Structure 1
Amino acid sequence: MSGGITGESGVEALATALFGRVRQMVLGSPTPLATYRVQLHKGFTFDDARKAVPYLSRLGVSDLYCSPYLKASPGSTHGYDCVDHKQLNPEVGTAAQHEALCTALREHGLGQVLDVVPNHMGIDAFNPLWFDVLENGPASVYARFFDIDWSPVKDELEGKVLLPVLGDQYGVVLEKGELKLGFLEGAFVVHYYDRLLPVAPRQYARVLERNLDVLEAKLGAEHSHFIELHSILTAIRHLPERTEIQRAQVVERNREKEVIKRRLAALATASPEMSAHIAANVEAINGTPGQPRSFDELDQILQEGSYRLAQWRVAGEEINYRRFFDINGLAAIRMEDPEVFAEAHQRIFEWLRKGQVTGLRIDHPDGLYDPTAYFLHLQERYFLERARALFDAEQDTRAEQWPEVEARLRERWREEAEAKVDSPLRRALFVSVEKIQGGRERIPDSWAVHGTTGYRFANAVGGIFVKPDAEGAMTETYHRFIGEAPDFDELVYEKKRLILRDFMSSELNMLAHRLNRISEMNRRTRDFTLNSLRRALAEFIALFPVYRTYVDDTQAGLDERDVRYIKDTLRHAKARNATLNVTIFDFLGDVLLRRYPDHLGEHERAEMLAFAMKMQQLTGPVMAKGLEDTTFYVYHRFCALNEVGGEPEHFGTTDAIFHERNLERAIHWPASMLTTSTHDTKRSEDVRARLHVLSELPEAWRERVEFWSSLTRAYRAEMPEGPAPSLNDEYLFYQTVVGAWPMGERLSSGELEEFRGRIREYMLKAIKEAKVRTSWTNPDKDYEEGVARYVDACLDEERSRGFLEDLRTFKRRIERAGQHNALGQLLLKVMSPGVVDTYQGCELWDLSLVDPDNRRPVDYGLRERLLSSLDQEAYRGRPGLCAQLVEHMDDGRIKLFVLAEGLRLRQRYPVLFRQGGYRALHLRGPRADAAVAFAREHEQSLVIAIAPRYTLSALESPGGLASAYEETSVELPASYASMTFRDVFTGQQVRPGRHGEGAVLPLAPLLVGFPLVLLERSDG
């Protein structure tokens, strides 16, 4: 490139050259092979992560995968409550420490995938954007950032934000003196315990003018300080109104209010009399408890502001800002606005430009107004940022040329990428999305992403270890124990209705109000009442079978799957609502399916499209809250299946479906992530793997549950509403302790006490999430205490010796088979098409439950020492090491060994695992259904993975695992017969035998030395 080139043609030439270079650079960047997820917070910082990098590199990880680390609310353990997109979280580390981590990753050849939260922000006092909105309302420069309905159904909220933060009713809180006016650095604020709220700037005059004559008498009318106060009051009166939304007026208000604060702070500092005047007025306005009228002035100041304080309980019905699910402290942001996008991604693109971050994980994309446009914007911005980095590095380019160059680069990028779904530029930046897929729901083809974070895979790979013929017995045991037969689909419907009624009614009200306005546009629909429209919307959302659709205006037609979901739901809604005018559902269908009447103008059509897109933002949260966060804590037939993205109504996964999904991923989404545990999973991969064994002995499980119930009956508390715990919660308790009981024979008293505490806290969370006998919003302390006492009594060595002994005996019986399930699950994950993800600590046995249990500290020093020891022992002799690992499975080293060998195999064959084909392999013989096998192929590279399943009967047979697989073999293509393979774990050389026109691989000899089979071609 030459900086001497000027004029239109020179810029065009510069842009063309730059486009080619950047295109080649970004398309040459490989996708991750294996990620390792860490949760960053004040207990695990950038420095802690940096120290773990050498270990992760030796483990075989290609990318560190970090939780969000932009500035979050103080004490946040997850980072999803970002309060400032421009700053690092100070609790995680400084810019220098972040730089050191990035440098360490680069030196070890690792990339970094960063979790990004585009849907919402934390809105405590540490969020300057939200604070400004509360201070200035619609006139805030950040009003457009948040998804706020400034004209909601309730007239009293016109131009205001409902702020449901009070512990009691507003009047009670006010008259107790819990709301206190204060003066801080030139600004008036209201303190509510540790929460800080702004006072509307125009209300400063009300405080300052109080007893003004007294101040004048002290200072004199001509005193410079008194004159300055009058000047400030004049400035306050001339501030543009808080309802002003014209850009010039908004900018003026923002500028002048800050000038007023600076002047007032300076005046109070310079004048003791002024400081005393302000302090006395503040004290008087704060009122006196016991004298209700003394709070009138403070009440008036608050009423004139841009927010309406309210008790937290009213949020579900009247809140007028979109939230993340039903969490009042997380407000949704309007990522569809280019200004919001730029603000939220400024630091992230800075790190991408420098190569410090190499990929993104996008949290909750279903909450976005237009996910398709968002992902395209990400990819476009990434391309332009990389181009800017090259441009700046060239010494012969001039900064003033960049805007023109950028415009041409953007045009070229859009020509090549935006209109072509198959363009590689659409996926230049690695992007993984936290998309939960219900049923046969797929990622839209138009998304410029590499795939999902892997929930669907987690459920599929775990499900193949569930024995399908146990479904009837397990269902009967559950129904008989609890005394009823819940229907899963009906339960989901009821819980979604519950969420809409009690937790997200305000979001439903806003949608209904918007739909009502649309109905008024047409004389044929104007007679639909607001109430009937609301009922129809609630019914549609409760019956909707997936998380959301993706209707927008980018395509001439709609996605066929979206059309089918909408039409099927409307049909079911009509069938269930005989008393509701069915034409309302037809009207709703017309709006959602873009069937607009011919006479409608562009404005009306835009309103209808906007409604459809807004409704899509609600169906996902309602599904998530109703299914994952409620039904999964109520429907306990087989808790191992109650997982994020899971379908507990289906009893496990067939190997055919598992292979079908792997093949589809290999073809269409080869860089989609593969996970088995995450920070969001309800139970860790190893807990689920152990519970899967219950499907191999359903009768024994029934007997144990009935026996345990008889042993612990005395610990249940009898209450008018029923026992504590309920039979349903008791059934959950048994599965929980069986699944999470630590490995090994016995626990010390201290270990048992710790375990008891973990189970108690889990059960308390579970019963609150269930929302049956207690909840987070309406806690029943008696029930909670009854459940806590029950857990403590059952897990007390002195009081429940018989129960604990029988529980331990049963746990020990299924433990080894559970370990085999976990290892098989791990092998299949590591070899499947996609990016292998390991959640922190799960390279050893991890028997964690839902958060915060799965956020406990991880001992990386121990893991590093164990990995070094494994490498040394493998060097001395793999067969001996494998025998030792099998003998001492409880210590978890065998899991670390399987993971490390699998990840290192991926590193040896990166092209195979990024681009290779997938071939399902079939078995023959007496245990043909008791193993899953497949091959990965690319040119001369070939890998075969075989994982036994349903191993309990094999382990309990006289000859053990290998003997049970005598006469069982894997069928291979004929071309494999001439190949030689190396067993990755044992080092053994393996040659398939010929069988008819094909090849065959007997399983028993391969399972003698190790319980898994992983073969790499060694002669190619």
Structure 2
Amino acid sequence: QRYDEAWREDPQSVMARPLYVVAEKILGHGEILPRTWPVDGTSGYDFLNLVNGLFVDGANAKTFEGIYSTFIKQRTNFNELVLAKKRQIMLISLASEINVLARQLSRLAERNRNVRDFTINSLTFALREVIASFPVYRTYIADGNITPSDVQYIEAAVASTKRRTPVTDPSIFDFIRDVLLLRYPGTADEEDRRLQQDWVQKFQQVTGPVMAKGLEDTAFYIYNRLISLNEVGGEPQHFGTSVAEFHKANLERRRSWPHAMLTLSTHDTKRSADVRARINALSELPKEWKSALTRWSRLNSRHRSKVEGRSAPDRNEEYLFYQTLLGMWPRKALDAAEHAALVERIQEYMRKALKEAKVNTSWVNPNEAWDAAVSNFVSRALADTPQNAFLADFKQLAARLAQLGVYNALAQSVIELTVPGVPDIYQGNEAWDFSLVDPDNRRPVPYTRNREMLNELDAQLNNAESDPAAYVRSLVTQQDDGGIKLLLVAQTLRFRREQPELFAEGEYVPLETTGNLANHVVGFARRLNDAEVLVVAPRLLARIVTDDNAPIGDVWSGTSLLVPAAETGTTYLNLFTHERVQVDNSVRGTGLPLAAVFGNCPIAVLVKSTQ
């Protein structure tokens, strides 16, 4: 009872939340978690998509749209696709739920003489259209209480529906709007009000599943422009996140939800963070991608089959296949057994992706001939033989993306551990993890291997004769076994453990960069009293990193991280390399030269020296 009383007085007080509770809530575009909820924040999908977009080159959005539409030979409007797939779900998978809602709505209409002439068919149609237009998963009207956000979403859905259906009497949509907003007829008695409120509760329980099944479980498997954006809580039509947007969101989280969970991968994500990191790098290479698509499709044309007069896989499925390969192809050479296991994983992924898309096959109505044709295409395209020209060609671009993906993955991992919030690392993701959607991401985790690798990393760093900077540099260059990621994650987590107040309560300060590579860096500070840590990470590195060169050292000459609050001569200790870097006077004020910050490691956590 005292917790309830504390919640009514201040939902954000400690007494109102005796336990750490987060809501697995998918926020729509512009949606804000209600401050009245007695939770510490969401489970982190909003952060996942925020940081994911930071490594997508937004300048290439139209170019990628052109490449995609040209290859699949049609233009796809994502918003229209989502509407169509939500309708499909309501007509098939959730038809009974919609019919029940419509019948109950019809009974409400019968109790109101002004609207009792609406037929069950017209109400069912109107109801489906309003639900399809819903901009968020659901509203949270309860006990007669309606928030301004609830009103906004309902009004937006109804207005959008009216624009799309000009031949339908708009009064039927007004009726649904008024019912949802609990605008009772003048003749309504207590029973009428109760029935209307009950209907609103049932309506709210339906919009979420329709959105989840229509968007995440269908449209995300069809719209393949850049599949790293097709993530739970994501908006594939928005191509990238600016540094300014990134900082704004972190400042808001620190102000409103400082203990919200932060995640990069979960049991539910469509692909792991490390897979997305590689595919994000593809957004920087439109020319290479376009050229590769043309070559690969030509080389693999002989592997397609005719099913009912159509080529299997279709162009869109083939487009998905190539991106998926680029995201998860191993850097190291595989033996025959490993190669066979990898091919089987890809076959299983494609099988699920195609059935979820519900275009040429589905779980409910499987097209076994199509499924077999696509599985055969995968097997033949990936045949590990000297005659396979596609695989040899493919591995060249795969190696380039794997290289760039390393830096994206390291950057997003360190960012997750240092921005406001509580980081959550999905099993095994402290080292490299190139998993796809479940069940692929439920495979056994190599805990023993990771533990042994961490022990070896610690032993090397603690060796009195070792040179930490040189050792870290060698890990950055080597990359394959995941040691560099494991080291950076472990060192950052250990520092968090030593400075819990700094990360739980410290302010978040966006930092600017200056110089010719300023747009390729994101930096921020966490400060509490005299404690300060700077976090600096690179982004969009395709034009900086060439061949096997890491983005370290002199490549950053002329670019500085501005630290306005620091005095000239202030020293910072690099958490990873144990090097010291000193503030100097840059063109625009006091700053740190990135050639020194990134001298041996392309990501830096810099701890202000007290000496």
> In 2, distance between residues paired with 1:527 and 1:419?
47
Which SS does the other structure have where 1:831 is aligned?
coil
> In 2, distance between residues paired with 1:474 and 1:963?
32
Aligned position for 2:148: 560
> In 2, distance between residues paired with 1:531 and 1:461?
45
Distance apart, 1:976 and its partner CA: 5.1
Give 1:644's match in structure 2, choosing from 214, 232, 236: 232
Aligned position for 2:96: 506
Tell whether 2:562 aligns with 1:934.
Answer: no
Tell whether 2:196 aligns with 1:608.
Answer: yes
> In 1, distance between residues paired with 2:586 and 2:473?
31
Aligned position for 1:764: 351
> In 2, distance between residues paired with 1:496 and 1:863?
42
Give 1:673's match in structure 2, choosing from 261, 277, 286: 261
Aligned position for 1:901: 491
Shift in CA distance, 639/954, structure 1 to aligned 2, threshold 3 Å: same
- Native 8 Å contact 1:793 1:800 kept in 2: no
- Native 8 Å contact 1:794 1:800 kept in 2: no
Distance apart, 1:559 and its partner CA: 1.8
Aligned position for 2:457: 870
Give 1:425's match in structure 2, choosing from 3, 9, 15: 15
> In 2, distance between residues paired with 1:774 and 1:955?
42
Distance apart, 1:993 and its partner CA: 1.3
Tell whether 2:572 aligns with 1:981.
Answer: yes
- Native 8 Å contact 1:793 1:799 kept in 2: no
Matches within 5 A, 1:563-582: 563-582=151-170
Distance apart, 1:609 and its partner CA: 1.4
> In 2, distance between residues paired with 1:997 and 1:501?
60
Q: Deviations over 1:758-792 (max 9, x none)?
A: 00000000000000010000000111111011001
Distance apart, 1:577 and its partner CA: 1.7
> In 2, distance between residues paired with 1:868 and 1:563?
56
Aligned position for 2:377: 790
- Native 8 Å contact 2:266 2:426 kept in 1: yes
Aligned position for 1:624: 212
Aligned position for 2:29: 439
Which SS does the other structure have where 1:596 is aligned?
coil
> In 2, distance between residues paired with 1:587 and 1:423?
40
Give 2:274's match in structure 1, choosing from 686, 701, 715: 686
Distance apart, 1:957 and its partner CA: 7.3
Shift in CA distance, 862/883, structure 1 to aligned 2, threshold 3 Å: same
- Native 8 Å contact 1:979 1:1019 kept in 2: no
Aligned position for 1:734: 322
Aligned position for 2:421: 834
> In 1, distance between residues paired with 2:214 and 2:460?
50
> In 2, distance between residues paired with 1:446 and 1:601?
30
Distance apart, 1:730 and its partner CA: 0.4
Q: Deviations over 1:914-972 (max 9, x none)?
A: 11111111111111110111111111111111111122222217975232211011111
> In 2, distance between residues paired with 1:1012 and 1:820?
8
- Native 8 Å contact 1:824 1:1012 kept in 2: yes
> In 2, distance between residues paired with 1:976 and 1:624?
51
Tell whether 2:395 aligns with 1:808.
Answer: yes
> In 2, distance between residues paired with 1:811 and 1:967?
31
**Percent sequence identity over matched residues?**
43
Q: Deviations over 1:484-538 (max 9, x none)?
A: 0010000000000000001101110111111111111111121111111111110
Distance apart, 1:814 and its partner CA: 2.1
Q: Deviations over 1:299-334 (max 9, x none)?
A: xxxxxxxxxxxxxxxxxxxxxxxxxxxxxxxxxxxx
Give 1:1011's match in structure 2, choosing from 570, 587, 602: 602
What CA RMSD, in Å, does the superposition of the two structures yield over aligned residues?
A: 1.6
Distance apart, 1:1008 and its partner CA: 1.9
Give 1:593's match in structure 2, choosing from 181, 189, 199: 181
> In 1, distance between residues paired with 2:565 and 2:140?
46
Matches within 5 A, 1:274-423: 410=1, 412-423=2-13
Give 1:725's match in structure 2, choosing from 313, 320, 327: 313
> In 2, distance between residues paired with 1:532 and 1:548?
23
> In 2, distance between residues paired with 1:708 and 1:800?
14
Which SS does the other structure have where 1:953 is aligned?
coil
Distance apart, 1:581 and its partner CA: 2.1
- The normalised TM-score by structure 1 is 0.58
Q: Deviations over 1:27-75 (max 9, x none)?
A: xxxxxxxxxxxxxxxxxxxxxxxxxxxxxxxxxxxxxxxxxxxxxxxxx
Aligned residue type for 1:463? G
> In 2, distance between residues paired with 1:800 and 1:602?
78
Aligned position for 1:993: 584
Tell whether 2:552 aligns with 1:969.
Answer: no
Aligned residue type for 1:538? R
> In 1, distance between residues paired with 2:97 and 2:570?
62
Distance apart, 1:980 and its partner CA: 2.5
Tell whether 2:138 aligns with 1:548.
Answer: yes
Unaligned runs of 5+ in 1: 1-409
- Native 8 Å contact 1:882 1:1009 kept in 2: yes
Which SS does the other structure have where 1:774 is aligned?
coil
- Native 8 Å contact 1:468 1:651 kept in 2: yes
Shift in CA distance, 739/996, structure 1 to aligned 2, threshold 3 Å: closer
> In 2, distance between residues paired with 1:734 and 1:799?
20
Q: Deviations over 1:641-695 (max 9, x none)?
A: 1111110001111111111111111111111111111100111111110111111
Matches within 5 A, 1:690-705: 690-705=278-293
Which SS does the other structure have where 2:363 is aligned?
coil
Aligned position for 1:187: none
> In 2, distance between residues paired with 1:529 and 1:624?
29
> In 1, distance between residues paired with 2:386 and 2:78?
37
Shift in CA distance, 778/873, structure 1 to aligned 2, threshold 3 Å: same
- Native 8 Å contact 2:53 2:240 kept in 1: yes
Greater C-alpha Rg: 1
Distance apart, 1:448 and its partner CA: 0.6
Matches within 5 A, 1:53-452: 410=1, 412-452=2-42
Q: Deviations over 1:327-385 (max 9, x none)?
A: xxxxxxxxxxxxxxxxxxxxxxxxxxxxxxxxxxxxxxxxxxxxxxxxxxxxxxxxxxx
Q: Deviations over 1:452-484 (max 9, x none)?
A: 111111111111111111112211111110000
Shift in CA distance, 456/945, structure 1 to aligned 2, threshold 3 Å: same
Shift in CA distance, 435/721, structure 1 to aligned 2, threshold 3 Å: farther
Bigger shift: residues 678-687 or 412-421:
412-421
Aligned position for 1:748: 335
Distance apart, 1:417 and its partner CA: 2.5
Aligned position for 1:1002: 593
Aligned position for 1:852: 439
- Native 8 Å contact 2:144 2:182 kept in 1: no
Aligned position for 1:924: 514
Distance apart, 1:995 and its partner CA: 4.2
Which SS does the other structure have where 1:681 is aligned?
coil
Aligned residue type for 1:925? G
Give 1:539's match in structure 2, choosing from 129, 144, 151: 129
Shift in CA distance, 997/781, structure 1 to aligned 2, threshold 3 Å: closer
> In 1, distance between residues paired with 2:549 and 2:479?
19
Aligned residue type for 1:708? W
Which SS does the other structure have where 1:920 is aligned?
strand
Q: Deviations over 1:695-744 (max 9, x none)?
A: 11110110001100000000000233521000000000000111110122
Aligned residue type for 2:534? I
Aligned position for 1:716: 304
- Native 8 Å contact 2:22 2:42 kept in 1: yes
Distance apart, 1:424 and its partner CA: 2.6
Unaligned runs of 5+ in 2: none
Shift in CA distance, 958/684, structure 1 to aligned 2, threshold 3 Å: closer
Aligned residue type for 1:843? E
- Native 8 Å contact 1:432 1:451 kept in 2: yes
Give 2:77's match in structure 1, choosing from 471, 487, 504: 487
- Native 8 Å contact 2:326 2:401 kept in 1: no
